[in-house]
Chains A and B, each alone.
Chain A
Amino acid sequence: AQTVTQSQPEMSVQEAETVTLSCTYDTSESDYYLFWYKQPPSRQMILVIRQEAYKQQNATENRFSVNFQKAAKSFSLKISDSQLGDAAMYFCAYKAQETSGSRLTFGEGTQLTVNP
C-alpha cells in the first residue's frame, strides 16, 4: 500500500520569506500523481499544485513550486513571498495512475503559520 509521510507537524515563516514543506512517499508504481492541498481554518480542501510522475520538470503555480525527486520519492513544496493568507494546514497526497477512481492517500499534514 502506498504511504505518504510529512515529517514536519508544524512550520512557521515570516511574511515575505520563503518556506519549504517536506513530503516523502512510498510506492511500487512508476506512474502516479502527487498533489499539495491546502486546508485553511474554513476546512475547505483547496488544490495548490499537482505533479505528474512521468514529467521531469517541476510544477510551478505562481508563488508555489515543487521539488520532485522521483528516485528519492520526495515531493517538497516551496512557498515564496509568503503571505498571511498562506497560513493553513498543508497536505501532501498521492494518487495512482487514474484507471477507475483510485483513491487519494494523504500525509499527516503540516500546519503552516505565517508571522507578520
Chain B
Amino acid sequence: AAGVIQSPRHLIKEKRETATLKCYPIPRHDTVYWYQQGPGQDPQFLISFYEKMQSDKGSIPDRFSAQQFSDYHSELNMSSLELGDSALYFCASSLVGRTNTEAFFGQGTRLTVV
C-alpha cells in the first residue's frame, strides 16, 4: 500500500539559508499535518491543511510557511534557518470522516542546520 512520501530524507543547510520540505500524502487523503521533533523530544504540531486550506496552526515560527497544492501534496518552507531548527520533520496524512481517523506518518526529513 502507498505510504506518505517525504523528500528529501536528509538535508543540511547553513544558518540563514532557506529550506523546502515536501510531502506527498497517501492517495485520496485530504488532510496533511506537519510536525517537528527535536532530539529526545515528542513531536510538536506545526500546521495542518484540510482540502488545501489551513485547518489548524500550532507552534510554527513566523519564519516558516506551508501550503497544500491542488494535487494535495504539501510543502513546508523554512527561511532564515537557525541552529535550533535542526530536527526531524514529519508529515502525516489522514482522511477526514473515517471512523478510524488515524494519521499515517512519513519517514521524516532530518534537517541539520550548521
Q: Does B102 contact A (CB under 8 A)?
A: yes
Contact, CB under 8 Å: B42 / A50: no
Distance (whole angstroms) from the CB of B56 to the closest CB of chain A: 5
Q: Does A52 contact B (CB under 8 A)?
A: yes
**Cβ contact of A44, chosen from B56, B97, B108, cutoff 8 A:** B108
Q: Does B49 contact A (CB under 8 A)?
A: yes
| Chain A residues, CB < 8 A from B99 | 52
Count A-B pairs with CB separation below 8 Å. Answer: 70
Considering only CB atoms and an 8 Å cut-off, how many residues of chain A contact the other chain?
25
Q: Does B103 contact A (CB under 8 A)?
A: yes
Interface residues of B (CB under 8 A from A): 31-33, 35, 37, 41-43, 45, 48-51, 55-56, 58, 88, 90, 92, 94, 96-105, 107-108
CA distance A101 to B66 in the complex (A): 15
**Cβ contact of B108, chosen from A35, A43, A95, A99, cutoff 8 A:** A43
CA distance A44 to B37 in the complex (A): 12
* A-B pairs with beta carbons under 8 Å apart, 19 shown: A37-B105, A42-B107, A43-B107, A44-B107, A44-B108, A46-B105, A47-B104, A95-B103, A100-B31, A101-B31, A101-B32, A101-B50, A102-B56, A103-B33, A103-B45, A104-B43, A104-B92, A106-B42, A107-B42
Contact, CB under 8 Å: B48 / A106: no
| Chain B residues, CB < 8 A from A99 | 96
